[in-house]
Amino acid sequence: MQQTAKKDYTLSSVKNALRILRSFSMEESELKITDLAKQLDIGKSTVSRLMSTLASEGFVEKNPENQRYRLGLSILSLASVCTSNFEIHTEAMPVLHQLVEKTGETSHLAILDGIDVIYLHKVESKHQVRAFTHVGKRNPSYCTSSGKILLAHHDVSILEETIKKGLVPYTEKTITDPKKLAKVLEEIRQQDYAISTEEMAEGVVSIAAPVRDYTGQVIASVNIVGPIQRVNDHTMPNHIKKVVEAGKQISERLGYRPNLKNNQTL
């Protein structure tokens, strides 16, 4: 009985340590122990012990000027190992660079993580006016082009969970009606691309297309994002064509062959 309790405590500690690490973001790159304790609903003393352990292994470090914690260099080394061995990341990079050159807009490679969309890779536009995003950034799936592409091609349970959490209106154009969202996702499945016009942020438009693995399953999305002054009705047809082509190119680099009935035999 005592061994079981000890094992459960150990697993709980690991889980809480991971929750702490995931609390850091570009928006909140430095956090206090009291903030973490409140945010994660964990005792302050527990957070303090976990932070000391993480710091001893280089996963976090304390800023001596404000006594806040930030991620350490051990995270960076793990991230480098991950990205260098992530096939989709490697295969997508040259295509994203070409897409930016052809459209002039910032491009991302994204996947679903739970019900959120997370950016794995980004190639920045050369324009001075551009959308603020970063690798690792999370956005709600239902109001972004990348997210809607992924929702449209994933199990319906993901959509149900998204609706259950609530379709929060980020702008006046955010889709907050579950029935309307379901209809839009069906249209996306048929046309195989998605557009988000000021649904996440005013003045920002994005276009996304699916990325498929060798079995034909949609595993990621590729997009471009830019201001409505540049991505509008006049430029939209050409941009859509370029984004869809990029999605197909990445998919083919991953082994997908649309002319074969069963890609699993490759």
Looking at the chain, the number of H-run helices and the number of E-run strands are 9, 8
- 211, 254 in Cβ contact below 8 A? yes
**pLDDT tens figures, 64-112:** 888 898 888 777 666 655 554 467 878 899 999 999 999 999 999 998 8
Class in CATH terms, 86-265: alpha beta
Class in CATH terms, 2-76: mainly alpha
**pLDDT tens figures, 198-216:** 999 999 999 999 999 888 9
What average pLDDT does the structure give for the chain? 85
**pLDDT tens figures, 131-155:** 556 666 788 999 999 999 999 999 8
Rounded to an integer, the average pLDDT of 213-229 is 93
pLDDT at position 265 over 50: no
Enumerate the domain spans of the chain. 2-76, 86-265
| Residue recorded with tokens 């079995």 | 215
- Residue 164 CA to residue 181 CA, distance in Å, equals 13
